[in-house]
Amino acid sequence: MLCQELPTYHESCIIARYADIKQSSLGISVAVGDRAVLRHSAIGEGATIGAASLVEDSKVGMLSSVGFWTSLRKSSVADNVRIGSWCSASDTSIGENCEINDFVEIRSGSCIGDGSVLMRGVKIIVT
């Protein structure tokens, strides 16, 4: 997605000591937790990425949060979205103002509409 090897980020970002960020860009006031891994991704202004999470080939919108131990691959997360902990999303589009609770799994090809709420433990599988 992005060309540069080193991450680009504003001085207002808070990045934990052991966060691993490569070929990604971070907006103003982004927070990245300890042992989070970001690869080829864009993180919007004011977003939060939880500890030990993986964000790869993805976009996370402004003021969105990704809980700890959550995996996002080839996904697009709009503005003002809350994704809980221990979630997984691959090749997925998540609309604005959504709430995805803990332990949710969203498989390839899914599109979650604006304002949706997915309760704890939900699995979305596209057939």
Q: Could you report the per-residue pLDDT of 28-60, keeping only the tens digit for each?
A: 999 999 999 999 999 999 999 999 999 999 999
3-class SS of residue 1 = coil
- Pick the closest to residue 125 from 74, 81, 84, 91 (CA basis): 91
| CATH code 2.160.10.10 for 8-124 | yes
According to the model, what pLDDT value does residue 126 have? 80
Give the rounded percent of residues in the chain with a pLDDT score beyond 90: 87
Order of all β-strands in the sheet with 71-73 = 20-22, 37-39, 54-56, 71-73, 88-90, 105-106, 123-124
Q: Residue type for 1, please?
A: M
According to the model, what pLDDT value does residue 8 have? 73
* Contact indicator for 23, 2 with CB cutoff of 8 Å: yes
In this model, does residue 127 exceed pLDDT 90? no
In this model, does residue 80 exceed pLDDT 80? yes
According to the model, what pLDDT value does residue 1 have? 37
Contacts of 99 (CB under 8 A, 6+ apart): 81, 82, 116, 117, 118
* Contact indicator for 26, 12 with CB cutoff of 8 Å: no
Report the distance separating Cα 9 and Cα 127, nearest Å. Answer: 39
Q: How distant, in Å, are the alpha carbons of 52, 54, 101, 117, 124 from that of 37?
A: 7, 5, 21, 26, 24
Res. 5 pLDDT band, cuts 50 70 90: low
According to the model, what pLDDT value does residue 2 have? 40
Res. 3 pLDDT band, cuts 50 70 90: very low
According to the model, what pLDDT value does residue 4 have? 47
